[in-house]
Amino acid sequence: MGWLETYRGTVFRWEVDHNDHLTVAYYFTRIADAGAGLLAAVGLPVATAHTEDCFVRYQRELRVGDLMHMESGVISVAPDALVLGHRLIDSGAGVLCTTVEQRIRLAGPLTAAAGRAVEARRAAWDAPARERRPRPDGLAGFRDSARDTVKPAEVDVLGGAALAHYIHRFSAANGHAIAAFGMTPAYMREEHRGFSTFEFQLDLGSPLRSGDGVRVRSAVRHVGNSSLRLLHVMTREPGEEVVATLEQSGVHFDQDARRPAPLPDALRELARTLLVKEA
């Protein structure tokens, strides 16, 4: 059986960002829908599953009005965990736009019947492999980049914060983090530039609930000719419990040419002064 269609829709006007393409939080809304659809297809209640991490690779942008669909399959199986693979496709062009690996932790071991259903949805996976990079020891050098609470409308069927909640907060954090070296909203409007993500590694800890306070701190981890990598760490407030991290790789983006553009020398040099390396 293999691949199963788990989503079909379009890019709505209110879902685009300042680069005029589908913003990442709405990709994650589709990922959550696709994961729930695949779990239902193999007879696993969504309420018994929790997303532990997602690795996302963006290969082609989607813009307002573009049609899209998602195919999902099982790419790895453990006694109490699954890794789901999702392929988001531009339906009009018939081109692969995004690949996702979603690790799901189950409430208990698979039954024999569920195991057979899962195996029937095994799919070949040839997407780019994720790279687990070293992380800094602690938050020295990280800067405050977001502070907020979980809203009631942002919880999922399990009662915890939905995937899109995390991405909305991390997107806001990224804006503050890159403004620190000159990529301010004013700069991007005047120069027709933006920050366009091409890779995400999201890791989740214990669930957040409606009303929980969150704080995000961010650090620059890599500066290239046009590329940037940042690490965002979300903690539950009050306290220092880490509830999510996001490693985000992107490029300085020319909004007119729709392609990466070299960072201006002044911005690149200032960004390098903010680099935080592993201990």
Tokens of 236: 């539950």
Q: How far is CA 248 from CA 13, 170, 244, in A?
A: 24, 9, 13
Say what the pLDDT of residue 110 is. 86
> Within 10 A of 187 (CB to CB), how many other CB atoms are there?
15
Say what the pLDDT of residue 275 is. 96
Higher pLDDT, 44 or 271: 271
d(CA 89, CA 145): 33
Taking residues 190-194, report their average pLDDT.
Answer: 97
Taking residues 4-31, report their average pLDDT.
Answer: 93
Q: Kindly tell me if the per-residue pLDDT of 195 is higher than 90.
A: yes
Predicted TM-score of the model (pTM): 0.94
Q: Kindly tell me if the per-residue pLDDT of 42 is higher than 70.
A: yes
Taking residues 229-246, report their average pLDDT.
Answer: 96
- β-pairing, 193-204 vs 143-149, is unpaired
Dihedral sign for Cα 52, 57, 62, 67, please. Answer: negative
